């Protein structure tokens, strides 16, 4: 029998949970504090690994705190989503087709927002 806390979770799911904890915090958090905030039975070493990977990706910053680090988000949730979208676009060699298909799948409301933004009205 496998204990729920020992089951493997997708890395993206864990990263999202860690980012949510950092966004909710008013100050940088240590891995131990993130572990407590998550409350899902993850080992501190797992949380530290996730934070280190996020730091390597440039998604979180860190500052020295004693012998370790305290981590903080460097982008808000919309900024992180935009970064992921750019990453996906960069992976394909046919950017024009990717963009055309993306735009073709937008809702009418999203298309209006995109048109407004492209015209320079960023509000």
69 by Cβ neighbours in 10 Å (0-12 / 13-18 / 19+) ranks as buried
C-alpha angle 29-5-62 in degrees, rounded to nearest 5:
15
Q: What is the pTM of this model?
A: 0.71
Q: How far is residue 68 CA from its own chain's centroid?
A: 22
pLDDT in tens, the chain (123 residues): 434 444 566 668 899 999 999 999 989 999 999 999 998 788 999 999 999 999 999 999 999 999 999 999 998 989 888 988 888 899 989 999 999 999 999 999 999 999 999 998 655
Query: Which DSSP category does 106 fall into?
Result: S
Query: Which residue matches tokens 């949510």?
Result: 20
Q: Are 28 and 72 in contact (CB under 8 A)?
A: yes
């Amino acid at each position: 029998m496998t204990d729920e806390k020992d089951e493997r979770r997708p890395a993206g799911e864990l990263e999202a949970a860690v980012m949510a904890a950092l966004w909710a915090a008013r100050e940088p958090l240590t891995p131990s504090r993130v572990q407590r905030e998550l409350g899902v039975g993850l080992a501190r070493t797992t949380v530290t690994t996730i934070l280190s990977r996020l730091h390597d990706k440039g998604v979180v910053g860190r500052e020295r705190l004693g012998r370790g680090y305290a981590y903080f988000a460097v982008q808000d949730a919309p900024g992180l989503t935009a970064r992921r979208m750019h990453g996906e676009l960069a992976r394909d060699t046919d950017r024009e087709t990717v963009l055309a298909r993306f735009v073709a799948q937008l809702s009418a409301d999203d298309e209006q927002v995109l048109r407004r933004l492209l015209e320079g009205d960023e509000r």
